[in-house]
Structure 1
Amino acid sequence: MRDYAKELPEHREKFIGENDLFLEIFHGNCGSQKAGRPPLLFVHGAFTGSWMWSKYIPHFMAAGWDSSCINLRGHYKSRSVDFTQVEFEDYLEDIREAIAEVVDESGSPPVVIGFSMGGILSQKMAESVEIAGLVLIDSSICRQVHDAVPYQGRAPRAPGLVVPAPARDEQFSADETFEDLAFQRKYLSMESGKAFGAFSFHFGAQGISVDGRRITCPSLVISAVGDEDDDRRGRAAARHIGGEYLGLAGTTHTGLLVGQRYHEAVRRILDWLARFL
C-alpha cells in the first residue's frame, strides 16, 4: 500500500493548546510572502486527520501557498481524549485555536478549507471569526440547506457515545482504487457520538443552524455529485453563504480528497485562490 502521509514534503510540526492539537505547517515553494496572499488552514472531517490532505498539500506548496493542517482533539497525532465527552462546540474551539495560531505566525487570517464535518464546523466558526476566505469540500450541510433540499428515504440512526470508524472494506469506488481505500483503512479512527448527534441528519440530528448573512468572506463550495439531489444540495449550500459552486459528477465523498480525480478539486481551488494574488 502506498502511504501518502509518509511522502509529504519536509515541514514543521507542533502541538498547540491545552489539548495538544497536532498542527502540520508547510511553507510554499515560492512567492508565499507576496502582499495579499493569505495562509491556508485545512480542517479534516470525521474519523480522519491531517493525513487526509496528503495528496492535496504538495500542489498548494508548489503553487507557493503556506498551508497548515490542524488535527482536532483526539484525532491522528493529537493527544488522546475521551470521545464520549467531546461535543461539536469543542471542535469549534479547536479550530478557533488553530486560526489564532496561524494568525500569530503569519500576521493575517487564513483561508479555511474544510471537508465533511470540517466543513460544517468551518461554516459555523466563520459566523464569528475573521477569515480571509472559506472553501467547503463536500461539507456536511447546515439546517437551512437541509430544509431546502432534505435527504430522502434514509432512516436516522441514533449514534452511540462513540461512533466506530468506517470499515471501508469495499474493493473500489467510483473514483477510488483499492490502494486509495487501503490508505484510508490504515488511519481511520473512531469519532465522537455527541458531535455526530449535533450535525449529522443520518444520525437523526436537528442540524446546525448557520446564518449565511454573517459569512462575508469569499467562499467556494465543491460537491461530490452522484445524483440530482446532490447537485441541488450543493447549489443550495453555495447560495446560503453567497459562494461559488462546483459540482463534480461521478465523484465520491472521500474520493474528492484521496481518489483518482482529487486533482480536479485542487485545480478549482487554486483557480479560486488567484483572487488573493
Structure 2
Amino acid sequence: MRDYAKELPEHGEKFIGENDLFLEIFHRYHGSQQPGRPPLLFVHGAFTGSWMWSKYIPHFMAAGWDSYCINLRGHYKSRSVDFTQLTFEDYLEDIREAIAEVVDDSGGPPVVIGFSMGGILSQKLAESVEIAGLVLIDSSICRQVHDEVPYQGLAPQAPGLVVPAPARGEQFSADETCEDIAFQRKYLSMESGKAFGAFSFHFGAKGVSVDGARIACPSLVISAVGNDDDDRRGRAAARHIGGEYLGLPGTTHTGLLVGQRYREAVSRIMDWLARLQDCSLPGATRPNGLNGA
C-alpha cells in the first residue's frame, strides 16, 4: 500500500493550545515566492486528519502557497481525548485556535479550505471570524440548504456516543483505486457522536444554521456529483454563501481528496486563489463570482 502521508515534503510540526492540537506547516517551495498571498488553512473531515490532504499539499507548495493543516482534538497525532464528550462547539474552538496561530505565524488571516465536516465547521466559523476566503469541498450542508434540497429516503439513526470508523471494505470506487482506499483504511478513526448529532442529517440532526449574509469573504463550493440532487444541493450551498460553484460528475466524497481525479479540484482551487490574489492588489476590483455574500 502506498502511504501518501509518508511521502510529504519536509515540513514543520507543532502542538498548539491546551488540547495539543497537531498542526503541520508546509512552506512554499524556494523559488515560488509570491508577494501578498494569504496562507491556507486546511480543515479535515470526520474520521480523518491532516493526512487526508497528502495529495493536495505538494501542489500548493509548488505553486507558492504556505499551507497549514490542523488536526481537531483527538484526531491523527493530536492528543487523545474522550470522544464521547466532544461537541461541534469544541471543534469550532479548535479551528479558532488554529486560525489565531496562523495569523500569529504569518501576519494575516488565512483562506480556510474545509472538507466534509470541516466544511460545515468552517462555514459556521466564517460568520464571526475574519478569514481571507473560504473553500468548501463536498461540505456537510447547513440547515438552510437542506430545507431547499432535502435528502430523500433517509432512515436516520441515532449516532450513539461514538461513531466507528468507516470500514471501507470495498476495493475501489468510481474514482478511487484499491490503493487509494487502502491508504484511507490505514488511518481512519472513530468520531464524536455528539458532533454528528449536531450537523448530520443522516444521524437525525436538525442541522447547523449558517447565516450566509454574515460570510463576507469570497468563497468557492466544490461538490462530488452522483445525481441531480447532489448538483442542486451544491449549487444551493454556493448561493447561500454567495460563492462560486463547481460540480464534478462521477466523483466521490473522499475521491475528491485522495482519488484519481483529485487534480481537477486542485486545479479549480488554484485558479480561484489566483483570481483572489489578483483582486486583492491595489486598485483591483473583485470579478464576478468572487463577491462575498
After TM superposition, the score normalised by the length of structure 1 is 0.99
Shift of 1:36: 2.4
Separation in 2, partners of 1:32, 1:147: 44
Shift of 1:91: 0.1
Separation in 1, partners of 2:187, 2:174: 21
Q: Deviations over 1:79-102 (max 9, x none)?
A: 000000000000000000000000
* 1:15/1:21 contact within 8 Å kept: yes
* 1:114/1:136 contact within 8 Å kept: yes
Aligned partner letter, 1:52: M
Q: Deviations over 1:116-167 (max 9, x none)?
A: 0000000000000000000000000000000000000011111010000000
The Cα RMSD (Å) is 0.8
**1:21 match:** 21
Aligned partner letter, 1:82: D
Separation in 2, partners of 1:30, 1:215: 34
Shift of 1:29: 1.2
**1:154 match:** 154
Secondary structure of the residue that 1:129 maps to in structure 2?
coil
**2:185 match:** 185
Gaps of 5+ in 1: none
Gaps of 5+ in 2: 279-293
Separation in 2, partners of 1:69, 1:224: 22
Q: How does 1:1-277 map to 2 (within 5 A)?
A: 1-30=1-30, 34-275=34-275, 276-277=277-278
Aligned partner letter, 2:237: A
Secondary structure of the residue that 1:223 maps to in structure 2?
strand
> May I ask how many residue pairs the two structures share in their alignment?
277
Q: Deviations over 1:147-201 (max 9, x none)?
A: 0000000111110100000000101000000000000000000000000000000
Shift of 1:211: 0.1
- Aligned-residue sequence identity (percent) comes to 89
* 2:32/2:62 contact within 8 Å kept: no
Aligned partner letter, 2:228: E
Separation in 1, partners of 2:146, 2:36: 35
Q: Deviations over 1:44-90 (max 9, x none)?
A: 00000000000000000000000000000000000000000000000
Secondary structure of the residue that 2:2 maps to in structure 1?
coil
